[in-house]
Amino acid sequence: MKVLANDGISPAGVEALEKAGHEVILTKVAQEQLENYINTKQVDVLLVRSATKVRKDLIDATDLKIIGRGGVGMDNIDVDYAKSKGIHVINTPAASSDSVAELVIGHVLAGFRFLHQSNRDMPLNGDTNFKELKKAYAAGIELKGKTMGIVGIGRIGQAVAKRAIGLGMNVIVHDKFAENVSVNLDFFDGQQLEFKLKSVSFDELLENADVITFHVPSQDNYILGATEIEKMKEGAAVVNTARGGVLDEKAVLSALEKKKLRFAALDVFEKEPTPEIKLLMQRELSLSPHIGGATLEAQSRIGTELAQQIIALSN
């Protein structure tokens, strides 16, 4: 079969597909040209990440056999409609969990220790205002003993919980679809420990968490807006590596300006790929350009898993 990896695929994935006799096309085709390209090249399999959209019109206009999403959420694909047309829809829900979780912890550590700010200021003023900067950033917060609130306790949420526990944090969770949750921590020497996580109401999580991280699908309405932020602790923080639109960005900015929130971290935005300039200029925001699953290890796992599923479906 002909496989168009429109948003890319790892060399390991390409190698596995080609070894199985499939042709892999790595050309990046613009969204408006995708229909014509797929039909002209007689593409059987379309692989995407978050950039390319696979909607009803594209599905109807092509003869795709498999649509694959490298990652977890599939809100950029009309999944049910594709399945109704007999098209296989696949994804890799577990491949990037560790990568996203580590980015969350990275943002949390950066925020509580002012790294996102000091990394801006040191190159500019480190040689002339060293003592002043040291004083300005001397009020960091330790994570040990603090409470991590996790909204959405699927694979990524659980991966975050494991790392938070490893840092000595108390972990509480809220998930409409899970009441009792336990996670297993695997250690370097083969030891394993099980931790049972407390599932609480959203209001209880808002009131008790020192930092809240969101791991939910795309939403029709904000989960966290001005009303919810008012229920949070003074000086708490929020992290969004899930989807743009989970948080009300304007409400977050306002809360940062009023010092209600200590800091916020965003890897995803309501307006990608052109986030609001006010977000980019806000010093209390720790920012990254939607790189939650973008590690070499995750990309290799994603490519390999997609290849394995395609090979299995084609046999």
Question: So which residues are the catalytic ones?
Answer: 243, 272, 290
| CA–CA separation, 240 and 265 (whole Å) | 6
Report yes or no: 34 and 58 within 8 Å, Cβ to Cβ. Answer: yes
Which position has the token pair 């965003």? Answer: 266
The answer to whether the bond into 273 is cis (omega within 30° of 0) is yes
| CA–CA separation, 96 and 156 (whole Å) | 8
**Dihedral angle over CA of 186, 192, 194, 197, nearest 10:** -20
| CA–CA separation, 129 and 137 (whole Å) | 12
Report the amino acid identity of residue 261. Answer: L
| CA–CA separation, 108 and 103 (whole Å) | 9
